[in-house]
Amino acid sequence: LLFVFASAVLNFTVSAQSVVKIGMSTALSGPAKEIGQQLKAGAELHFNFYNQHKANGAAAIELQVLDDGYEPHKTVTNARKLVYENKVDALFGVMGTPTSYAIKP
């Protein structure tokens, strides 16, 4: 399920954009760090593979990862930074109910 969104992103054409920026806020520290670190490693593996094998002219994927320690208030801060400062095109891989709920539209 983690890569369902990623696959959708990879299958559309981004006009006049050579890089699609994906933002990820996950637990890289704290009590859930093992899960967050595995999610990050899997996402990096997937996007690196895509970037190495993408079709000519297809946009590359740039993954930007921030640590929220599985704390919803940090997830909100990270999401705002990723969207408003880093200008990511999409958010991806938020882990767990409390953090996902904190940033729902």
Domain with 92 in it: what CATH number? Answer: 3.40.50.2300
Q: Is there a domain that residue 5 lies in?
A: no
Grouping H, G, I as helix, E, B as strand and the rest as coil, residue 60 is: strand
Q: Is there a domain that residue 30 lies in?
A: yes
**Mean of all residue pLDDT scores within the chain:** 89
Q: Evaluate the CA torsion angle 19, 65, 8, 102 in order and state its sign.
A: negative
Among 46, 36, 33, smallest CA distance to 94 is for 36
Q: Is there a domain that residue 74 lies in?
A: yes
Band of pLDDT at residue 105, cut at 50, 70 and 90: confident
pLDDT score for 15: 52
Answer for the pair 88, 18: CB distance below 8 angstroms, yes or no. no
Q: Is there a domain that residue 13 lies in?
A: no
The domain tally of the chain equals 1
**What range defines the domain where residue 48 resides?**
26-102
